[in-house]
Structure 1
Amino acid sequence: MSHVDKRNRLDEEVFTYRHTKDNKVLIYWMGKQVTVLSGKHSEKFLSRIANAEFKEAQLIMAKATGNFKRGNEKDNK
């Protein structure tokens, strides 16, 4: 997996998720919601992440969000 994360960003907890009662999965990046998975996608995600280690779980969440960062996000500093 080292060739996937060359900048070691997945060592930090940049992605988190929350499973809702209606079987949706909300995925957050740096505390901001970036995607919602429902139906078969949420079931597949939950089964993959259930036994994953920390860094592997971060990679699963990164892949589930897709390519949401394009470089035009505002930096709220």
Structure 2
Amino acid sequence: MDNLKAEMQRNGLTVRDIMTTIGCSEKTARNKINGETDFTYPEAEKVRNNLFPGLRMEYLFHSSTHPEKSA
């Protein structure tokens, strides 16, 4: 979620803005922003459409961590 965090900072947005947009608690919003829990697709859509309309979903919600592949 590095891109999401960077864009939030660039646009002066806070956890509260995400929380209000997707209708969840502050703790849940923080967990989602920090990648501890996933945004649902409808939540991600709301965030992008309402807060970052000019950005692509793939960019905004790109995760730099890759799950390990089992051999």
Normalised to the residue count of structure 2, the TM-score between the two structures is: 0.32
More strand by share: 1
Greater relative contact order (CA < 8 Å, ≥ 6 in sequence): 2
